[in-house]
Every structure is written in C-alpha cells, then in structure tokens.
Amino acid sequence: MSAATRRRMMRFASQLGTLFCAALLVSPALFFFLWMISLSLKLEIDNGAYPPIFIPTHIAWKNYSGVFASNNFFLYFWNSIVVTGTATLLALIVGVPAGYGIARMKASKSAIVIMIARMTPGLSYLIPMFLIFQWLGLLGTLAPQIIIHLVVTVPIVIWVMIGYFETTPLELEEAAMIDGANRWQIFSQVTLPIARPGIVVSLILSVIFSWNNFIFGVVLAGRDTRTLPVAVYNMLSFEQVSWGPLAAAALVVTFPVLVLTIVAQRQIVAGLTAGAVKGG
C-alpha cells in the first residue's frame, strides 16, 4: 500500500469518525422530532402500545384534521400572527434606528439596559403590566400581548443591529455627507440598504422568539386572545388527553418556526453568534 493511499484512507477514517460523532450528537434532536411526528400520525391504539410502535400501522391524518377543525384554531393562529407580526414590526421600526444611533454614538455601554431586559424574568414585567392593562380595560384585546412582546423583540433587534452597524464603514456615510445627504437621507439611502442582511436576521430572530413565547400569553390572554402556544397548552388541561391530537397540535404550533430555522439557518447562526457575543 503506497503512502498516499494510506494517507487517503486515514483521512477517510477520521472523517468517518467525525461524522459518527456528529450523528451521535444530533441523534437526541433527530429522534425527538421523528418521535414527535410519529406520535402525531398514530391512532390512539398505536400510541398506547407497549413496546412503542415507531412506524404507524395506520396513518392517522385525522389527528391533524382535528387540530385544524377545532373551532378556535384559526382564531388562535391569527392571534399569533397578529401579536408576533405587530411586535416584530414595531421592534424593527424603533430598534433599527436605535441600533444605528447606539453604534454610531459608540454608546455600546447603553446596551446595558438591554442586558437588564435580558436578565429580568418575564414574570416581573407581567405583574405591573397586568395591573395596568386591567385598569386600562385592555385585557380582552391583543394589545397587551403585543406591547409586552416588545420586551422580547425590541432588545433582539437593537442587539443584532448594533453589531451590524458597527461593522458598516463610517467612510460611506461620510462620503454621503459630502455628497450632500442629510442624516435621514444617509440613514435611509446608504446605511439601511447596506444593513439589509442584519435587518433580515433580526426579523427572523424576533419572529421566532415572539412566536414561541408562552409566559406572557398564559397571564394576559383571555379566551379569545390566546396565541397558539397557550392554546395548545390549554388542550392539555381541558380536553381529554390523547397523545395523537396533542402531538399533532404541538407540531402545528412549532412547524412555522422549524421551517424558518431550516430555511434561514445561516442567518440565524450568524445573528445568534454575533448578538450573543456582543451581549456578554
């Protein structure tokens, strides 16, 4: 065997080793989601079987049709979209300029406020906000949830955007200034278009974490203002617990987020690494 062949085989073996380790590492996640799908597609008899059955003997689409047919599903779905959409939009509107201002003023220290927001348990916002919304008579509407979701979305947007704007060269803005742009023109015509990737990242992260939020809804949502995570949790307590429909509902709730994660994996990885590190 020539040295070159041996070296190639060694490299192949070590690659195989890494791949094996990686497979081992992702197996809990992979198994979990496969099992989740399996649960959601099985009839109750299959789900109640021991030893457990992995491949459904009969595909129970009715678990899913049940979720969609349940009277309030589309209302809750819509609530989730409104809350997440509005909270993200508002966060972008105030957060993107703020990230720009903070980055340009070199006032990253002021981001400490954001750090505090990150350190505060969500519940401590909820107590005062709950009372205020009660006084304002807003509790039957989506407004309270939208407003309190800003606690999640605004810091994410500011965080990611500070990092982005810090890396866009000042020279460009100076060139625009000499070209005769005023500060809004500089921001809207030069800085913003360049920062588009950053805006996309902050949008995605903001959507995901707002969509996933549970605690705010538990306290603030009424019967008609539940978001999907709260609604699916309530299934557990109010309906007779049967695994198939429950798993199907759980999957439906988290499906948009998982799709987004897979589609935008690159941006998410970039955003989370940058944002998190800046945050320390």
Partner 1 sequence: MAAVTLSHVGKSYGAVGVLHGVSVDIADGEFVILVGQSGCGKSTLLRMIAGLESVTSGDISIGDRVINDLPPKDRDIAMVFQNYALYPHMTVRKNMEFGLKLRGTPRAEINEKVAHASAILGLESLMERLPRELSGGQRQRVAMGRAIVRDPQVFLFDEPLSNLDAKLRVHMRTEIKALHQRLGATVIYVTHDQIEAMTMADKIVVMHDGRIAQQGAPLDIYDRPANLFVAQFIGSPSMNILDGQFAGDGSAVFITDKGVHILLANVPAENAGRPAKIGIRPEHIMLNDSGIAARVIVTEPTGSETQLTLDVDGHELVVLIRDRVDYKPNDVLKIGLAQNHIHAFDADSGSRLTL
Partner 2 sequence: MTLASAGERRASQQARRLSGSRKVGRISYWPFVLPALVVVSAVVVFPWAFTLWMSVSEWKVGEPYHFVGFANYLRLLHDQRFLQSIGRTLLYTVLSVVAPMVIGTLAALLFNEKMPARGLLRGIFVMPMMATPVAIALVWTMMFHPQLGVLNYLLSLIGLDPQDWVFAPDTVIASLVMVETWQWSPLVMLIVLGGLASLPADPYESARIDGANAFQRFWYLTLPMILPFLLVAMTIRMIDALKSFDIIYAITQGGPGTASETTNLYLYSVAFAYAEIGYGSAIAVLFFLLIVVLSLVLLHVRELSGRILGTTK
Please give the residues from 100 up to 139 whose contact with partner 1 meets the rule CB under 8 A: none
Letters for 86-105 (x = contact with partner 2 by CB under 8 A, - = none) are ----x--xxx-xx-xxx-xx
* Residue among 4, 13, 119, 178 that touches partner 2 (CB under 8 A): 119
- In the block, which residue shows the tokens 């809350």? 83
194 binds, among partner 2, partner 1, none (CB under 5 to 8 A by kind): partner 1
For the chain, the residue count is 280
- For residues 270 and 277, what is the distance between their CA atoms, to the nearest angstrom? 11
With CB under 8 A as the rule, give the number of residues binding partner 2: 96
C-beta closer to partner 2: residue 200 or 257: 257
- In the block, which residue shows the tokens 């399996």? 38
- In the block, which residue shows the tokens 């996640």? 29
257 binds, among partner 1, partner 2, none (CB under 5 to 8 A by kind): partner 2
Q: How many CA atoms lie within 13 A of 8 on its CB side?
A: 5
Please give the residues from 61 up to 80 whose contact with partner 1 meets the rule CB under 8 A: none
Query: How many Cβ atoms sit within 10 Å of the Cβ of residue 147?
Result: 20
Q: How many CA atoms lie within 13 A of 76 on its CB side?
A: 25
To partner 2, the closest distance from the beta carbon of 225 in angstroms equals: 16
- For residues 216 and 227, what is the distance between their CA atoms, to the nearest angstrom? 10
Letters for 198-217 (x = contact with partner 2 by CB under 8 A, - = none) are ----------x--xx-xx--
Token output for 105: 């003023």
To partner 2, the closest distance from the beta carbon of 65 in angstroms equals: 19
- For residues 34 and 5, what is the distance between their CA atoms, to the nearest angstrom? 39
Please give the residues from 145 up to 204 whose contact with partner 1 meets the rule CB under 8 A: 169, 171-172, 174-182, 185, 189-190, 193-194
**Which residue, 259, 255, 251, 262, is CA-closest to 42?**
251
- When asked if residue 239 is in the footprint of partner 1 (CB under 8 A), the reply is no
Please give the residues from 247 up to 276 whose contact with partner 2 meets the rule CB under 8 A: 247, 250-251, 253-254, 257-258, 260-262, 265-266, 268-269, 272-274, 276
To partner 2, the closest distance from the beta carbon of 257 in angstroms equals: 6
**Phi, psi dihedral angles at 125 (to 5 degrees):** -75, -30
- In the block, which residue shows the tokens 């062949």? 5
To partner 1, the closest distance from the beta carbon of 171 in angstroms equals: 4
